[in-house]
Amino acid sequence: MQSTKPHAILLASPGMGHFFPVLELGKRFVTQHDFQVTIFVVATDTSTVQSQLCDLPNPNRFNIVSLPPVDISGLVDQDASIVTKIIVMMRESLPALRSAISAMKPRPTALFADLFGTEALVIADEFEMLKYVFIASNARFLAATIYFPTIDKKLEEEHINEKQPLMIPGCRPVRFQDTLEAFLDPKDQVYVEYLRVGLEIPTGDGILVNTWEDLEPTTLCSMRDTRMLGRVGKVPVYPIGPMVRPVKTSAMEKESSVLEWLDMQPTESVIYVSFGSGGTLSAKQMIELAWGLELSQQRFIWVVRPPMDDDVSGSYFNVSNGSDGTPDYLPDGFLTRNAKMGLVVPMWAQQREILGHTSVGGFLTHCGWNSTLESIVNGVPMIAWPLYAEQKMNATMLTEEIGVAVRPKELPTESIIGREEIEMMVRKIMVDKAIRTRAKQLKHSAQKASSKSGGSSYNSLSQVAKECETSLQGLIANIQG
């Protein structure tokens, strides 16, 4: 018997930064549209995934399946980029995904693949399902990703070799120093893979993107205008964000010593410092950051990982491997001197609860899009400290377009940011009223977009849900007819 509610299959690529937004999308389908949802997870720490299960709404409508681990050791170089490794893992997981979907009776209604799962779209075709791509990042990143593979050799050379900006029709140009690493070396596997992803994204029934109309009006507008960017991909773009994990309210979470410490601090007095699920700094930069925080005389919470020279994303696959990050690489006496003013948290913190706490008034962030959105929905201004992936583009957008962040003069990936500059940025972000006001405006804009009474993102997702419902009804009518 065919269910009367759509069954959505969501595919999440490795890494918590990919899993969390997919999980949120799944939750919205369940809570707002009463869908059945199955999330397939690839190579993401199962204990962390399982820990999210207790949080799920309506668990009988929700299923999270970890696909069997794949061995890619013979398929990619040891020193290949993380993106290449992720893409190959996703590719090697396709047979398991295919057989899992084929065993589902009745067949699911739609497949939602994330950025690195676009090769799975063909599986949706095989089972006559609708197919969408969910970009957990922003429209600007999406525009660059789908536009770059369509440019000619001359434009490519101008961007890569002559370091000219990438002129995306109707959008703000992407400066060379902000460009995606994947674009830089045509001989690298990541370049070839990434171009393929860019071409595949607009081949589905729609693209869902984790942004909202009022945050990126110009880019979204040009993606729909067929004279501009729309000519490279004619599928509808649905801005459905911000998709962020809501703050946990269970008693267990509240008992955390970090949150207890925050409870005792004045309103908006603490800066939170974190570089996402895998970002690391060099040993020298750690020392400068430690001094910068101390000299600023502002309260802080700093999620600290052991330094890793020459590898800014070194802890990416290693998040939950225990808290072995003893901060012996910090300046002598740092913890003692800052005992009243700051907390050092090894490896991993409850970020969503911290950013949602009223004592937090600033965020020094690597500008991962989840972290950025978590800051925005809580009205917290930022210091933009981009490290890898699309974070440099995000940092430029946050500082130069949206006006909700400050950033160092040099890129943190190109030079060591000194203690005096850090001290100055921390002070500025904690006291500057204009940036704080802008952050609060943005928080309201995000709330408005998500509102069930006519919010643009709420309506966008409802449109996608409607397409799934219509497709299912067509199928049921066929079976009955």
Tell me whether residue 167 or residue 347 sits nearer to ligand UDP (CB atom).
Answer: 347
Distance CA 376, CA 440 (A): 8
Task: Candidates 131, 140, 352, 436: give the one binding ligand UDP (CB under 6 A).
Answer: 352
How much is the CA Rg of the chain, to the nearest whole Å? 22
The least CB distance from residue 345 to ligand UDP, in Å, is: 7
Task: Candidates 30, 223, 303, 304: give the one binding ligand UDP (CB under 6 A).
Answer: 303
Which range of residues in 164-172, 229-237, 276-284, 418-426 is near ligand UDP by CB under 6 A? 276-284
Binding mask 370-399 for ligand UDP (x = CB under 6 A): xx--x-------------------------
The least CB distance from residue 19 to ligand UDP, in Å, is: 9
Which range of residues in 166-174, 178-186, 197-205, 366-374 is near ligand UDP by CB under 6 A? 366-374
The least CB distance from residue 272 to ligand UDP, in Å, is: 10
Task: Candidates 17, 170, 292, 362: give the one binding ligand UDP (CB under 6 A).
Answer: 17
Size of interface with ligand UDP, in residues (CB under 6 A): 18
Task: Candidates 8, 16, 439, 449: give the one binding ligand UDP (CB under 6 A).
Answer: 16
Tell me whether residue 15 or residue 306 sits nearer to ligand UDP (CB atom).
Answer: 15
Instruction: Name residue, tokens 């970090």.
Output: 258
Distance CA 104, CA 80 (A): 35
The least CB distance from residue 204 to ligand UDP, in Å, is: 23
Q: Does 325 bind ligand UDP (CB under 6 A)?
A: no
The least CB distance from residue 203 to ligand UDP, in Å, is: 25
Residue nearest to ligand UDP (CB): 17
Which positions from 20 through 59 interact with ligand UDP, judged by CB under 6 A?
20
The least CB distance from residue 138 to ligand UDP, in Å, is: 11
Distance CA 292, CA 298 (A): 10
Joined together, the tokens standing for residue 473 give: 């009804």
Tell me whether residue 41 or residue 349 sits nearer to ligand UDP (CB atom).
Answer: 349
The least CB distance from residue 433 to ligand UDP, in Å, is: 26
Tell me whether residue 81 or residue 370 sits nearer to ligand UDP (CB atom).
Answer: 370
Which range of residues in 15-23, 290-298, 423-431, 435-443 is near ligand UDP by CB under 6 A? 15-23
The CA distances from residue 117 to 65, 88, 294, 303, in Å, are 15, 10, 43, 30
Tell me whether residue 232 or residue 273 sits nearer to ligand UDP (CB atom).
Answer: 273
Q: Are 69 and 38 in contact (CB under 8 A)?
A: no
Which range of residues in 2-10, 27-35, 138-146, 275-283 is near ligand UDP by CB under 6 A? 275-283
Catalytic, out of 7, 18, 33, 366: 18
The least CB distance from residue 283 to ligand UDP, in Å, is: 20
Task: Candidates 38, 84, 118, 274: give the one binding ligand UDP (CB under 6 A).
Answer: 274
Catalytic, out of 7, 33, 45, 114: 114
Q: Does 468 bind ligand UDP (CB under 6 A)?
A: no
Q: Does 362 bind ligand UDP (CB under 6 A)?
A: no
Half-sphere exposure for 70 (CA within 13 Å, toward CB): 25
Residue 18 falls in the annotated catalytic set: yes
Tell me whether residue 130 or residue 402 sits nearer to ligand UDP (CB atom).
Answer: 402
Tell me whether residue 216 or residue 374 sits nearer to ligand UDP (CB atom).
Answer: 374
Q: Does 369 bind ligand UDP (CB under 6 A)?
A: yes
Binding mask 112-151 for ligand UDP (x = CB under 6 A): ----------------------------------------
The CA distances from residue 404 to 106, 366, 376, 398, 417, in Å, are 47, 14, 9, 6, 20
Tell me whether residue 366 or residue 436 sits nearer to ligand UDP (CB atom).
Answer: 366
Distance CA 29, CA 11 (A): 14
Distance CA 460, CA 213 (A): 10
Residues with a known catalytic role: 18, 114
What does the binding site for ligand UDP look like in residue numbers (CB under 6 A)?
15-17, 20, 274, 276-278, 303, 348-349, 351-352, 368-371, 374
